[in-house]
Structure 1
């Protein structure tokens, strides 16, 4: 019998790593997230991305901007933006901030990449909450034009490699800024 890694558990893991910014901007579950227009400062960005492919279904949950769940992999992909309120830490420090609710956090690899014509950091970690739920994560963090973006793929270690190509597709299609947003 495999351990419980339901969509609610995995999304719960994902939610501890993203800002609570609302879910109103993913219109029709398409390939663009439209920021909420707030006065006087917009705290979200409008950005686009590729769809992950077959087997992934959109998740609409308060506190997420864009999220998909894959039943066969027990995995989630989560995208988030935060503008003007994130401080001025390094990309590695922003990645490390995502560990706050995890009891264990082991960095398996970390590398610099380029995304949206900016430096980004791709990190793979093995983590657990309360030492019970083991999860593996691939996290891409990038800053551009005053906005911080977290793109995350979260899966049990047994299925982690099987979904990485789908996550790479999402990241490969990531674009910001998006005109008309």
Structure 2
């Protein structure tokens, strides 16, 4: 018999949504046509999500998806013109994991991203005592900060390789859109 699943969308999303709210994520006039997201100065294109990801609505996330097969939640956020212009990428990543405990960093690297650099971090951590694996990408471009967060149950990373690869492909398909351009 399988133990009841604690959904990462409950505690994890609450913490991340509060963090994003404090940092100025999201916006009042959002639009998303399935590939292009716009809200104020934030405009970007994403590829179609992998099969099995379903879009969910969160007030404090630009885009959010639930991957039921892997019991995971995916958040995408962007914010422009904030106080983050001079903040290093590792510190911005730190903002996203505030409230977690017992952190075990599995990967920290700087990678090419949409013509700039991104900080890619994978860690195991507990939120409200519940173990989770966080796969995080943070990038800055043209006065904006973009965050991608994949939160899943903590288990052997080998079990989640398909989900990890799907998330990496999704993040790799991200492109910012200059004002007025498509």
Smaller-chain TM-score bracket: 0.7 to 0.9
- 1:126-141 equivalences under 5 Å are 126-130=124-128, 132-141=129-138
Among 2, 5, 8, the residue aligned to 2:7: 5
**Offset of residue 107 of structure 1:** 1.6
Partner Cα distance (1:73, 1:94) in 2: 26
| Richer in strand (by share) | 2
Partner residue of 1:85 out of 66, 78, 82: 82
The Cα of 1:178 is off from its aligned counterpart by 4.5
1:39 maps to what in 2?
Answer: none
Greater share of helix: 2
1:54 — aligned with what? Answer: 51
Task: Tell me how far apart the structure 1 counterparts of residues 76 and 179 of structure 2 sit (CA, whole Å).
Answer: 19
2:168 aligned counterpart, secondary structure = helix
Shift of 1:176: 0.9
Runs ≥4 residues deviating over 4 A: none
1:147-175 CA distance string (max 9 Å, x none): 01101111112354331122112111100
Cα separation, 2, equivalents of 1:118 and 1:50? 19
Deviation larger for 113-122 or 154-163:
154-163
Match of 1:4, SS? Answer: coil
Aligned length: 172
1:33 aligns with 2:37: yes
How far 1:142 moved relative to its partner?
A: 0.6
TM-score by length of 1: 0.84
Change (3 A) 1:23 1:61: farther
Q: Which residue of 2 aligns with 1:117?
A: 115
Aligned partner of residue 163 in structure 2, secondary structure: helix
**Given the two structures, how large is their TM-score scaled by the length of structure 2?**
0.83
Instruction: Give, in whole Å, the separation in 2 of the partners of 1:13 and 1:101.
Output: 7
Unaligned runs of 5+ in 1: 37-41
Q: Which residue of 2 aligns with 1:153?
A: 150
Paired residues of 1:23 and 1:63 also in contact (CA < 8 A): no
Gaps of 5+ in 2: none
Listed one character per residue, the Cα deviations across residues 58-109 of structure 1 (whole Å, up to 9, x for unaligned) are 0112111101001121101111011111331111111112222223322211
Structural RMSD (CA): 2.1
